[in-house]
Every structure is written in C-alpha cells, then in structure tokens.
C-alpha cells in the first residue's frame, strides 16, 4: 500500500513569501504529526492531529506557522512571511491509532529553502 506522501518535495521561497506544504497520510491513520528537521539535527515536533482535531501545537515556533487537517485526512502546514531560519526539512508522520505506542510512519519530507 501507499505510504505517507508529501508535496512539494522541494520548495524555494523568497524571504517574506507564504508557503503551503501538503501531507497525505496513510489511509485510515488517525494520528498525524508534523516535524521540522534542521541540517544536522534530529526531527523536532511541531504539531499533532487526531483526526481533524489539532490536539497539540506546542512545537510551532511562531504564529507564522499554521496547520490544518479539516477532514481528518490530508494536512497542510502553512508558513507565512517566511524567514531564513525557516529553512529546514518538514516531515509528516502518521500512525494508525491515537496511542503513543503506535509506530509513526514518515513521509519523504519537504525541503524548504528560504533565500
């Protein structure tokens, strides 16, 4: 079956532009996570959805970051007025259940470069 997919795979934005990153989780997966991975670092948590409800957004670095999952499947991470420090790989992961004991399946990521 299909895994987690993300688009675009690469995005170059000029400082100040808005960007939207898309995640298609594995069909039927309840939980969806967004992570940010800077160069040479491990992924860092941004936000978590259970179905359409955003249950944790404590990792979003500023109010320029916004995520949604309106129908409980596809999710979009939006970054407004991008800054150079937003350059990173943005990873999406999904898991079948709501418990932390379920494996998270990761997508290939979107590499965002802000110039």
Partner 1 sequence: AQSVSQHNHHVILSEAASLELGCNYSYGGTVNLFWYVQYPGQHLQLLLKYFSGDPLVKGIKGFEAEFIKSKFSFNLRKPSVQWSDTAEYFCAVNAGQAGTALIFGKGTTLSVSS
Footprint on this chain of partner 1 (rule: CB under 8 A):
3-4, 31, 33, 35, 40-45, 48, 50, 55-56, 59, 91, 93, 98-101, 103-109
In the complex with partner 1, the residue whose CB is nearer, 17 or 106, is 106
Nearest Cα to Cα of residue 94 among 60, 55, 50: 50
Q: How far is the CB of 42 from partner 1 (least distance, A)?
A: 3
In the complex with partner 1, the residue whose CB is nearer, 17 or 108, is 108
Q: How far is the CB of 89 from partner 1 (least distance, A)?
A: 10
Which residues of 8-114 form beta strands (DSSP E)?
Answer: 10-13, 19-24, 31-37, 44-50, 53-56, 65-68, 75-79, 88-95, 105-106, 110-114
């Amino acid at each position: 079956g299909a895994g987690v997919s993300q688009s675009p795979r690469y995005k170059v934005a000029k400082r100040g532009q808005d960007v939207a990153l898309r995640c298609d989780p594995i069909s039927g997966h309840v939980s969806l996570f967004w992570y940010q991975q800077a160069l040479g670092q491990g992924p860092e948590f941004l936000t978590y959805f259970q179905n359409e409800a955003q249950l944790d957004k404590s990792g979003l670095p500023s109010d320029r970051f916004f995520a949604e999952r309106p129908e409980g499947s596809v999710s979009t991470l939006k970054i407004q007025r991008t800054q150079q420090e937003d350059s990173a790989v943005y990873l999406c992961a999904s898991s079948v259940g709501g418990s932390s004991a379920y494996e998270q399946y990761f997508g290939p990521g979107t590499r965002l470069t802000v110039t």
